[in-house]
A and B are shown apart, each in its own frame.
Chain A
Amino acid sequence: MQTLKLNDTTDTAFSFKPKSKGIIPKGLMLLAVIIIIVILAVIVAIVFYNGIGVISWKFVTHAPEQGMTAGGIFPAIFGTVALVILMVIFGVPIGVMTAIYLQEYTRPDSKITQLIRIGINNLAGVPSIVFGLFGLGFFIGFIGAGIDKAFYPPGRPVWGQPALIWAALTMALLTLPVVIVATEEALRTIPRELKEASYALGATKLQTIRRIILPQAMPGILTGTILAISRGAGDVAPIMFTGVAYYLSYLPHKLSDQFMQLGYHVYVMATQSPDVEKTKPILYGTVLVLLVLTFLLNIVAIFIRSKIRNKRVGQ
C-alpha cells in the first residue's frame, strides 16, 4: 500500500512534499509585480508633478513661441492628429481585410494562412527605425521621386521628399499587425449560427461579411485602431526621415507638407531646445499630454477588449 501514501518522501516524479517552502519564491514573484507597478507609478508621478503646471487651454491651442521656450504645442497636436487619421485610413481597411481573409476564407492550418501569419508576426518584430529607412528608400526615394519624374518638371521635388503622406503610410504598415490581431480576436467570437443563418437566408459570403461579420467585429476593429493610434501618436523612429519636422510656422494642409508630432516634439525639446531651463516645464507638459493621450487610448482599448473577451466566455 506504499504507493498510495501521497505524502511519501521518496524522490519519485509524482510525489510532492507538502512542506510549504513556497513562501519565499511567491514573495519574490510578488516583489516583481510590485516593482513593475512602482516603475509605472514613478514615471507617471514625475511627469504629472513637473508637467501639470503648464497645462492650460492656451498650452494645447497655441504654437510654440520664442524658439520653443514659451507658448504651446498646438502644431504638434494638429500634426499628430493629421498623421494618425491618414494612418488609419491607409492601414485599417487592409488590416481588417487581412483578418477576414484569415478567419473566413482560409482554413487555419493551410499553408497560405501559416505563411501570412509568419509575415504578420515578423512585420510586428521589424524595428521601427528600419521602417523609417524603408519609408525613405521606398516611399520617398522610389514612389515619390518616381511621381516627380513622371508628372512634374525637373527641379524642386514635390513628392520625392519627406511628407505627411509618406510618414502616414510608413506608420500604417508599422501598425498593421496590431489591427490584424485585434480584429481577428473579435472575429473568433462571432457565433457560427449567425453566419449560417445569414447563408440560409440566401446571402452570399461578401454580403454576410458586410452585413453580419463586420458589424459584429466592430469592437475588435475599434480596439486595433485605437492601439494603432496610440502607437502612431508617440512613435518617432519611423517618421524621423519620412516627414516629421522640427518646427513649422504653419499647419500642414497638403499631403506633401511636413508636420510636427508630439513624440518628436518631446525628442526635439529634450535635446535641442535653445534654453534648457526655460524649456523644461513645457517639455514636461508635452510629455504629460502625450502620456495622458496614450494612456486614455490604451484604457479605452483595454475596456473594449475585456468586453469582447467576456462575450466570448459567455458563449
Chain B
Amino acid sequence: MKKIIVASLIMVLAGSAFAANTITVKGSDTLLRLGQRWAEVYMKAHPDVVIQVSGGGSGTGIAALLNGTTDICEASRDMKQQEYDDGKAKGINIYRVAVALDGIAVFFNEANPVKEITLAQLKGIYTGSITNWKEVGGPSHTIILYGRENSSGTYSYFKEFVLKNEDYAEQTQTLPGTAAVVNAVAKDKYGIGYGGIAYGTGVKYAAVKKDDKSPAVEPKMESVTDGTYPISRELYWFTNGTPAGTIKDLLNWALSPEGQKLAEETDYVPLPKDVAAKNISK
C-alpha cells in the first residue's frame, strides 16, 4: 500500500523538471473546440510547446487575463469598457484579434411548426413581452426560454445585439453550457434557445429575418461569412501586450490558411481571407 502511494506520488511530482514552453488558453466555450483543435495540431508540429486549453466562458477568460492567470483569452465578445478600464488599472495592455467568425443560431424543438423569426420578435421573446408561441405564429403555449449563464460571451452578445441591452426575462432558464441549452430545447416542445452554430444537433435552426421585410436566412457557413445571416460575430483572442515569441507564432499559424481550414473543418466559420491576412501579427 505504502509503495503504491509513494510510486504514484513520484508519478505526480516527477516531470516538473522538463522545461516546456507552456501557453495557457482560457475562455469562451464557443471557441473551446476550435482552440482545442488548434492546440492539438500545433503541438504535434511543435513538440516542445505545451498548450493548455480550458473553457468556462468568455467572462472567465477575460477575468483570467485581467487576473494574470492566462496567456491567451478566448472570447466570443469584445471586452466591455469596464473590463478595458480594469485591465488598464491592473497594468495590462490588452491586445485584441479576431480569429474566426460565428453565427448565433436560434434553436427550436423539431416538433415546433414555427420556422422563421424576426429580430424584433426574438427581442420580445427574451425580454418577456412576447410569452406565447401563438404571437409568433405557433401553437398556443407558453414559450419556455433557455439561455446561457452570464459568464458566457454568447449571453452578453445576444443581450447586446438582440435584446439591445435590455435584461433577459427572469423566466429565462440559464444553463451552464450551449450543450445544455441544445439538450433542453431538444427535449422541450415549446422551448427556445440560442448558441453557436457549431453546436446544435437534435434541434431545429430558425431562419432569422432582420426585419419584417427582409428575407429569412438560415444560419449556414456561407450566410455567416457573407454577412447575410443577421446574428453573427467575430470570435476573439485577447493577449497581454502585442503577441511575441511562441504566442505570436501560434496566433499567426491560426490565422494562416492552414489554421483557418481547421476552423472550417471543426464547423466554425473562417474569417474572410483579407481579414485573416490583415490580422496576422508582424
Does A touch B (CB under 8 Å) in the complex?
Answer: yes
CA distance A68 to B52 in the complex (A): 15
Q: With A247-B55, A249-B43 in contact, do A254 and B183 touch (Cβ < 8 Å)?
A: no
Residues of B close to A162: CB separation below 8 A: 69
CA distance A86 to B179 in the complex (A): 33
A window 263-295: CB within 8 A of B: 267-279
B245 at the interface (CB under 8 A from A): no
Instruction: Report yes or no: B179 in contact with A271, Cβ–Cβ below 8 A.
Output: yes
Instruction: Fill in one digit per residue for A119-142: 1 if any B CB lies within 8 Å of its CB, else 0.
Output: 000000000000000000000000
Instruction: Report yes or no: B12 in contact with A247, Cβ–Cβ below 8 A.
Output: no
Given A161-B67, A272-B179, A277-B201, 6 other A-B residues pairs in contact with their CB atoms under 8 A:
A156-B68, A249-B40, A249-B50, A249-B52, A272-B55, A275-B199
Instruction: Report yes or no: A249 in contact with B202, Cβ–Cβ below 8 A.
Output: no
Q: With A161-B69, A247-B32, A249-B39 in contact, do A274 and B198 touch (Cβ < 8 Å)?
A: yes
Partner of A275, one of B16, B37, B201: B201
Q: With A67-B37, A155-B68, A271-B180 in contact, do A276 and B50 touch (Cβ < 8 Å)?
A: no
Instruction: Fill in one digit per residue for B191-211: 1 if any A CB lies within 8 Å of its CB, else 0.
Output: 000000011011000000000
CA distance A227 to B43 in the complex (A): 39
Instruction: Report yes or no: B12 in contact with A274, Cβ–Cβ below 8 A.
Output: no
Interface centre among B13, B36, B67, B180, by most chain A C-beta atoms within 10 angstroms, is B36
Q: With A248-B54, A274-B198, A275-B199 in contact, do A255 and B13 touch (Cβ < 8 Å)?
A: yes
Residues of B close to A277: CB separation below 8 A: 201-202
Residues of A within 8 A of B (CB): 67, 81-82, 85-86, 88-89, 155-157, 161-162, 164, 245-250, 252-255, 258, 267-279
CA distance A88 to B37 in the complex (A): 36
Residues of B close to A86: CB separation below 8 A: 9, 12
B8 at the interface (CB under 8 A from A): yes
Instruction: Report yes or no: B69 in contact with A67, Cβ–Cβ below 8 A.
Output: no
Can you list 16 A-B contacts with CB-CB less than 8 angstroms, sorted by A residue number?
A67-B266, A81-B8, A156-B68, A161-B69, A249-B51, A254-B15, A258-B52, A272-B55, A273-B177, A274-B33, A274-B179, A274-B199, A275-B201, A276-B179, A278-B201, A279-B179
* Interface residue total, chain B, C-beta cutoff 8 A: 41
Instruction: Report yes or no: B15 in contact with A157, Cβ–Cβ below 8 A.
Output: no
CA distance A258 to B68 in the complex (A): 15
Please list the 5 inter-chain residue pairs (A to B) with the smallest Cβ-Cβ separation, ordered nearest first: A272-B177, A253-B15, A271-B177, A271-B180, A67-B33
Residues of B within 8 A of A (CB): 5, 8-9, 12-16, 29, 32-33, 36-37, 39-40, 43, 50-56, 67-69, 71, 175-180, 182-183, 186, 198-199, 201-202, 266
Residues of A close to B15: CB separation below 8 A: 253-254
Instruction: Report yes or no: A276 in contact with B53, Cβ–Cβ below 8 A.
Output: no
- B267 — nearest CB in chain A belongs to which residue? A274
Partner of A270, one of B40, B51, B178, B180: B180
Interface centre among A85, A86, A157, A267, by most chain B C-beta atoms within 10 angstroms, is A85
Q: With A81-B8, A246-B32, A277-B201 in contact, do A253 and B13 touch (Cβ < 8 Å)?
A: yes
Instruction: Report yes or no: B177 in contact with A67, Cβ–Cβ below 8 A.
Output: no
CA distance A272 to B60 in the complex (A): 15
Partner of A246, one of B5, B54, B69, B202: B54
CA distance A221 to B258 in the complex (A): 57
Q: With A67-B37, A86-B12, A254-B13 in contact, do A276 and B56 touch (Cβ < 8 Å)?
A: no
Residues of B close to A255: CB separation below 8 A: 12-13
CA distance A247 to B40 in the complex (A): 12
CA distance A246 to B64 in the complex (A): 14
| Minimum CB–CB distance for A282 against chain B, Å | 12
| Minimum CB–CB distance for B51 against chain A, Å | 6
| Minimum CB–CB distance for A143 against chain B, Å | 16
Instruction: Report yes or no: A276 in contact with B183, Cβ–Cβ below 8 A.
Output: yes
CA distance A157 to B37 in the complex (A): 26
Residues of B close to A245: CB separation below 8 A: 52, 54
Residues of A close to B12: CB separation below 8 A: 82, 85-86, 164, 252-253, 255
Residues of B close to A81: CB separation below 8 A: 8
| Minimum CB–CB distance for A291 against chain B, Å | 21
CA distance A85 to B8 in the complex (A): 8
Instruction: Report yes or no: A253 in contact with B16, Cβ–Cβ below 8 A.
Output: yes
Residues of A close to B36: CB separation below 8 A: 67, 247, 249
Instruction: Report yes or no: A272 in contact with B176, Cβ–Cβ below 8 A.
Output: yes
CA distance A268 to B53 in the complex (A): 14
| Minimum CB–CB distance for A284 against chain B, Å | 14
Residues of B close to A279: CB separation below 8 A: 179
Instruction: Report yes or no: B52 in contact with A67, Cβ–Cβ below 8 A.
Output: no
Instruction: Report yes or no: B40 in contact with A276, Cβ–Cβ below 8 A.
Output: no
CA distance A254 to B14 in the complex (A): 7
Instruction: Report yes or no: A271 in contact with B175, Cβ–Cβ below 8 A.
Output: yes
Residues of B close to A253: CB separation below 8 A: 12-16
CA distance A81 to B11 in the complex (A): 11
Residues of B close to A249: CB separation below 8 A: 36, 39-40, 43, 50-53
| Minimum CB–CB distance for B32 against chain A, Å | 7
| Minimum CB–CB distance for B269 against chain A, Å | 15
